[in-house]
Structure 1
Amino acid sequence: MNAGDLEGGPAGRPVDHDWDAYTVADRDGTRRIELAVDGITCAACLTDIERGLRRLPGVVRARVNVGNRRTSVVFSPDKVTPDAVLERMAAIGYPAQPFDPALRRDNRSAEARELLKCMGVAGFGAMNVMLMSVSVWSGNVTDITPETRDFFHFMSALIAIPTVAYAARPFFRSALAALRRRSLNMDVPISIGVCLAMGLSIFNTLTHALEAYFDSALMLLFFLLLGRFLDENMRRRTAVEAETLATLRADSALKRGADGDLVRVPLSAVRPGDIVVVRPGERVPVDGEVLSGRSDVDRSLVTGETLPAPVAPGDVVHAGTLNGAGLLTVVVTAAVEGTLMAEIERLIGEAQSAKSGALRLADRAARAYAPVVHSSAFLTAAGWLMAGAGWHTALINAIAVLIITCPCALALAVPAVQVTAAGRFFRNGILLNAGDAIERLARIDTVVFDKTGTLTSPEPILANRTAVSDDLLDLAGRLARSSRHPLAEALARASGATGAIDGAREVTGEGVMADVAGRTLRLGSLSFCGIGSDVADPVRAAHPDASLIAFSDGERSAVFAFAQRLKTDAPEVIAELRAKGCRIMILSGDREAAVAVVADRLGVSEWQAEVDPAGKIARLDALKAEGRRVLMVGDGLNDAPSLAAAHVSLSPVSAAHLAQAASDAVFLGDRLKPVVIALDVSRAAYRLMKQNLWTAVVYNLIAVPIAVLGYVTPLIAAAAMSGSSLIVTLNALRLRRVAAPPAERPAAAVAAAREELAREQAEEQV
């Protein structure tokens, strides 16, 4: 394959690409381009990319954002072209696609921005009103003149009224929407409590009464807005991932026109029957049938199959799969609608819609709590009026009931635990995508694992290293450096070979070969290297879960078996989950032999192989019908629908972007221990949530009768309300003792962790 094939197509024609649409001009004459990069997983990737790009003449700056997997490159257009930048990215091992600037938007959603503004206003107003309250009550009450007290109350009202009008809008809108639906949520009693506290404070200010409660209303607003903002922040975290995925999954295609020219067009311009060209290393943009060309296609992102599949004319390819070293010409059967990728996204949408119907714990409590509170206040006023009291006394006692039962404790019962639990998750390398994931995770009784990339490390390892001589392994590794096949790359890493063999050429769909000192070296399929079943069968029998490639050097030959390695703590994690009463299953799209070996090593008796996305959802639905609450742990694109369909889901940070977007939480690192930690923290958090809710109920059972009988003034009611909020907050902080991360464990454990980290860093340097 020549350079023209790689750059423009079979005939070497150039591909039209409007780079002005993908770049932005800076004032100093340079241009900036953003690239969506597949394969960024850690800080080491950042160093490789930035250093590799800066060595390219004409590149002024290169900055990598590991969080959203994008690279921003500033370059001089008169010295280097975007094509050269993309070629350099591919050469250093990080294929990239230009990110359309039109897709960029503020990562912070409109709702999150509004909540942040409201929280800032509420906090500012609360601080100023509290300063005035302290000024009023810091000395002897009898020493404060009525004029001074009225002045401070009046100034507090001037601050509090516009503050509440602005900062309480999210609660007011939600409460009105719930009332229009003839239902109740937590925002209804919150809105009523805030309005009545403000109304009584304004009334007392106008009538020169002793107490006003502006500070209580504002502090309540501030803390509730804080919890609401954190919840929204969790939900919007997947927005960046979704944007980047849209670029990485190929939103354009190289379409062959009637005159044979290749033109890059958006997928919306591709129709069934069109012919597109897929170059080596690119993701297939459409579903279609191979018209010409041979290659190996990596389907792991879509199906979970670890072994690259050879494709030839007549074979079917799917959007989202990764083309290997061959050039493919594909006749389109589906481009945007009807592709396997579109079907996966449809399944995700349906699963998420079904899961979103569940009510949160706080809302369930509000449904029962709000009617009782409102009825108590109304009956209190009615009772005092019937007893002959004046309307002012009846109103004061009714408002005291509402204030003392104001859902501060109830409203903070769940958010206080959620905030503490989210911090506990974060310190253990777990990032929440859903605010109610904690509640769902705490109630699971079944854990379903994907295999590839979840129970096993994503990179294959050489399983029969001792069966191959060092010189043969080194020679094969040097030849492997001339191939982009995943197994060849794994062989090059395993051999530690430092240089490639000159003159190596790739035979599409077969392997790579080179002539050295009058003999021919071959690396690739068994047939390509002339390896018969008598040599291959013993290796296949010894490693039934492995993928085989062969190497021949004249009369010498070798068969290399590459298998996926179990994650180091996988057996321990499976054992711990069993001890916690969880049923364990494996659902994988990989081959039966590969799944069977992993299941046997882990002692998992329930497993299924070669399961497609719809099949995984069907199995989860069957478990749900049995009354099971399932935690799904997976990382592939084929796992995304089942991650969305499960009762709750986790995915590793190395997962496909769509899998991360569909999961309820993402965990960092290459270990499975966070799955156990997430379960421990969630169960403890759920217990504390219920304790807080019962605390609020018991508090009301004691406080309400006293307030109804008129023994509580609004000022005492406000103090009691604040005390109940403090109790639930302190109870939530008990969660900090659960699953303490290494930095908070005894000194011996910290020292051991540091020694392990030092060993890992030393191994990386070697």
Structure 2
Amino acid sequence: MSCCADPRAGFSNQWGTLPDSIRAAITPEGTGGRLVLHVPDIHCAACISTIEGALAPCGGNARVNLTRKTVTLGWDAPTFDPSVPVGVLRNLGYTPQPLATTTEVRDRRGAELMRCVAVSGFAAMNVMLLSVSVWSGADGSTQQLFHWFSALIALPALAYAARPFFRSAFGALRHGRLNMDVPITLAIVLAAAHSLATTISGEGETYFDAAITLTFFLLIGRLLDHLTRERARLSVTRLAAMRPPFAHVVTASGVAPVAVEEIRPGSVIEVAAGERVPLDGRLLLGEAAFDTSLATGESHPETVAAGGEIMAGALAVTGPHRLTVLRPSADSYVSRLAALQAAAENVRSRHARIADRAAVVYAPTVHILALATFVGWLAAGAGPGAALTTAIAVLVITCPCALGLAVPAVHVAACERLFRQGLAIKDGAALERLERIDEVVFDKTGTLTVPSLAEPSAIAPRDLAAATALARHSTHPVSRAIVEAAEAQDLPRVIATDVTELRGRGMEGRIDGRRVFLGQGAPAWAEAAGEGLVFVREGEAPLAIAVEERLRPGAETLVGDLKGRGLPVTILSGDRPEAVARVAGELGVADWRAQLTPSDKVDHLAARQRAGANPLMVGDGLNDGPALAAATASIAPAGASDLSQTAADLVMTGTSLSGVWTALATARGAHRIVLQNLGVALAYNCIAVPIAVLGYASPLVAAIAMSSSSIVVTLNALRLVRGPSEGRE
């Protein structure tokens, strides 16, 4: 395969019915793949249930994101045909599009809604002016003339401005399903038809003013919903903008711009000062300064020496600099972070599933209630006009928009806030588990402390270079410290082969045909070694490598905050008792355990859970993988390269531990606001529905009430985004 070959080519024989634009959006993953589609016709919780239910028999898995209006398809079987679920979506009346084109689509949708609001608002003001004359007691002929003028203004305006509701409702009905726009469309059409019939007959009251004003307020609510959802989507949108579409590739004939998707690892690219790094790379020469706030959350530039890694999205402060590309575009830091963020938003919590089920049964219930209201008023002796007006108000006021938005709006806002604070969410459902946390367990090395070599100059360059060859294959904090020490001395690069990780012990491999080892103790084939970190070359005596530790920034403040809020803190470490005791003493932690294996940590967490506790595990994501998976929730203060490797629910991309408190505070705030939103939705329906059924709400008042409830729920969710920037609240 050539350096520019498309990895999707091997699957193309079974994707022949897919449009090229959608085929290009498929990301191969192992033997399967992943496809994210933008489906702009998704409007409500009923759409979620309809789509996921219809796609279930297709195989693979499908997840609908209401806020981002996306459908994510994933599959493991190499025989899976993604054209089948795409066809199912089309048969349901939806129009799936590749996600890459959605910015322009969303811009068009916002512009269309703005035009519809303008047309309906202009028409509503003019019709209301005519209605004032009618209400003021105009005589019969003048009243009839004003009714016709109102019809001439309102009917064309409704035909244009109400298109977003008409398209959605007719599309749903055409494919045998209901959504929230069906009762809205029915209300608008009934009001307009009743008014036109009254105008033609010359008898009775017209409701052109109610129909067009109803449409105006519904459109305002729809536009505000669109704008607030766009704001909630900004985290992923900004990530996409962080990666330039082209990179300057260095070739024998000079520097030429090449699309990032066509660049393969090993290529050399040039980044000028003020430009974003397009792909993950390693600095070739000299020293450079980069703004890495995207990865670390810290605003001050980071100085990188030759051989240091730079993640895609970093801003070059100095330049130009040349980098060797480490990973293809699809695997770059920005792409992985965006995928994590989108995947986190796709996960629905227990509250969301309850709200979804309630919203699904809502549409048929609304129609039954409106029909019962109409029949009831007729039975009570009201005229057809009054009964129809009341039924229209019921159709409008009972739209479950607030219920459908109550949970997903909060979830997306929480993801946005955590991203701003340097936390990448790998499991969106973890927010619900974080809210239940009642104790916090820390690993020591790489979590509470940051290691560095005590005396790197005392190690022979030959040995340090060999140890670095093994350390480069690990992302353990001590390995990073060894690599940094070697890069600071600009040592020649040594290649290690047959490298394997001995879980909990270290790394083993071969250099120049001889076995080498880096880790705790010594392997069976080497001389006995004392405690601590050693490097062993076959046939030579073990070399002790002294490592010193300093507290990670924010560790003391975080532990103090946790204890102050009544959360017990425990340290579990595989290190020596004296080293653990020193760190525990500095932090004021009384409960600590030393010389634990990974299985010992899992046993401790399991015992705490059996006792009824909900522990949060904060570990480095590598040696602590089993413990991270065993805890109620988990956070890893990992580097950018660990982003997709750690078993943690959340990954802190910065160096400070303040993100732990931010995550806990955000989860608790999200839980509180979810309950508030569900309460608002429930209270609204308990109060508004009886008012509408009893005839105390006109269609206009119903439209204002329904739109207001949706806006209140969404704005309440956005309070999470506007939360304090610090980890403590």
Q: Which category describes the TM-score, using the shorter chain as reference length?
A: 0.5 to 0.7
Alignment match of 1:725 (pick from 685, 702, 710): 710
> What is the match of residue 25 of structure 2?
none
Post-superposition offset of 1:134: 1.4
- Is it true that 1:476 corresponds to 2:460 in the alignment? yes
Give the letter aligned to residue 420 of structure 2: R
Q: Distance in 1 between matches of 2:439 and 2:172?
A: 37
8 Å contact from structure 2 (residues 617, 631) kept in 1: yes
> What is the match of residue 683 of structure 2?
698
Partner SS, residue 23 of structure 1: coil
- Is it true that 1:455 corresponds to 2:484 in the alignment? no
Q: Distance in 1 between matches of 2:570 and 2:347?
A: 25
Partner SS, residue 566 of structure 2: coil
Q: Distance in 2 between matches of 1:639 and 1:525?
A: 16
Give the letter aligned to residue 556 of structure 2: P
Percentage identity across paired residues of the two chains = 34
| TM-aligned CA distance change 1:588 to 1:390, over 3 Å | farther
Give the letter aligned to residue 163 of structure 1: P
- Is it true that 1:670 corresponds to 2:655 in the alignment? yes
Give the letter aligned to residue 201 of structure 1: I
Partner SS, residue 24 of structure 1: coil
8 Å contact from structure 1 (residues 636, 656) kept in 2: no
| TM-aligned CA distance change 1:461 to 1:481, over 3 Å | same
Q: Distance in 2 between matches of 1:699 and 1:498?
A: 68
Alignment match of 2:123 (pick from 136, 157, 162): 136
Partner SS, residue 381 of structure 2: coil
> What is the match of residue 163 of structure 1?
164
Post-superposition offset of 1:567: 1.6
| TM-aligned CA distance change 1:206 to 1:727, over 3 Å | same
Q: Distance in 2 between matches of 1:621 and 1:502?
A: 44
Post-superposition offset of 1:669: 0.9
| TM-aligned CA distance change 1:119 to 1:412, over 3 Å | farther
> What is the match of residue 23 of structure 1?
3
1:468-516 Cα offsets, whole Å, 9 max, x none, are: xxxx93563465235524389856855997465999999x979999xxx
8 Å contact from structure 1 (residues 548, 562) kept in 2: no
Q: Distance in 1 between matches of 2:460 and 2:509?
A: 15
Post-superposition offset of 1:198: 0.8
Alignment match of 2:182 (pick from 190, 195, 212): 195
Aligned 1:334-413 pairs, distance under 5 A: 359-361=350-352, 363-364=354-355, 367=358, 374=366, 377=370, 380-390=373-383, 392-413=385-406
Aligned 1:271-282 pairs, distance under 5 A: none
> What is the match of residue 710 of structure 1?
695
- Is it true that 1:429 corresponds to 2:422 in the alignment? yes
1:722-765 Cα offsets, whole Å, 9 max, x none, are: 233343344444445532259x99xxxxxxxxxxxxxxxxxxxx
Post-superposition offset of 1:199: 0.8
| TM-aligned CA distance change 1:495 to 1:229, over 3 Å | closer
Post-superposition offset of 1:571: 3.1
Give the letter aligned to residue 127 of structure 1: M
Q: Distance in 1 between matches of 2:549 and 2:481?
A: 11
Give the letter aligned to residue 390 of structure 2: N
> What is the match of residue 113 of structure 2?
126
Partner SS, residue 115 of structure 2: helix
- Is it true that 1:679 corresponds to 2:664 in the alignment? yes
> What is the match of residue 71 of structure 2?
111
Post-superposition offset of 1:135: 1.2
Q: Distance in 1 between matches of 2:495 and 2:408?
A: 62
Partner SS, residue 453 of structure 1: coil
1:182-227 Cα offsets, whole Å, 9 max, x none, are: xxxxxx8xx24x2111111122223333222444555555666777
Post-superposition offset of 1:706: 2.5
- Is it true that 1:605 corresponds to 2:591 in the alignment? yes
Aligned 1:501-650 pairs, distance under 5 A: 540=531, 546-548=532-534, 559-586=544-571, 602=587, 603=589, 605=591, 607=593, 610-612=596-598, 623-637=608-622, 639=624, 643=628, 646-650=631-635
> What is the match of residue 689 of structure 1?
674
Q: Distance in 2 between matches of 1:174 and 1:370?
A: 18
Q: Distance in 1 between matches of 2:520 and 2:595?
A: 24
Q: Distance in 2 between matches of 1:663 and 1:146?
A: 66
Give the letter aligned to residue 360 of structure 1: H
Post-superposition offset of 1:592: 7.8
| TM-aligned CA distance change 1:703 to 1:532, over 3 Å | closer
Aligned 1:57-96 pairs, distance under 5 A: none
Partner SS, residue 360 of structure 1: helix
Q: Distance in 2 between matches of 1:379 and 1:359?
A: 33
> What is the match of residue 150 of structure 1?
151
User: How many residue pairs were aligned?
Assistant: 494
Post-superposition offset of 1:104: 9.0
| TM-aligned CA distance change 1:573 to 1:741, over 3 Å | closer
User: Which range moved further: 381-390 or 712-721?
Assistant: 381-390
- Is it true that 1:441 corresponds to 2:434 in the alignment? yes
8 Å contact from structure 2 (residues 445, 573) kept in 1: yes
8 Å contact from structure 2 (residues 447, 620) kept in 1: yes
8 Å contact from structure 1 (residues 455, 566) kept in 2: yes
TM-score by length of 2: 0.53
Give the letter aligned to residue 141 of structure 1: M
| TM-aligned CA distance change 1:504 to 1:200, over 3 Å | closer
Give the letter aligned to residue 111 of structure 1: V
8 Å contact from structure 1 (residues 478, 497) kept in 2: no
- Is it true that 1:739 corresponds to 2:724 in the alignment? yes
8 Å contact from structure 1 (residues 448, 632) kept in 2: yes
Q: Distance in 2 between matches of 1:589 and 1:389?
A: 80
Q: Distance in 2 between matches of 1:230 and 1:173?
A: 32
Q: Distance in 1 between matches of 2:480 and 2:406?
A: 53
Give the letter aligned to residue 428 of structure 1: Q
Structure 1: runs of 5 or more not aligned = 1-20, 26-31, 35-98, 177-187, 240-351, 466-471, 514-522, 541-545, 746-766
Q: Distance in 2 between matches of 1:707 and 1:502?
A: 77
> What is the match of residue 262 of structure 2?
none
Partner SS, residue 406 of structure 2: helix
Q: Distance in 1 between matches of 2:679 and 2:627?
A: 35
Give the superposed CA RMSD. 5.7
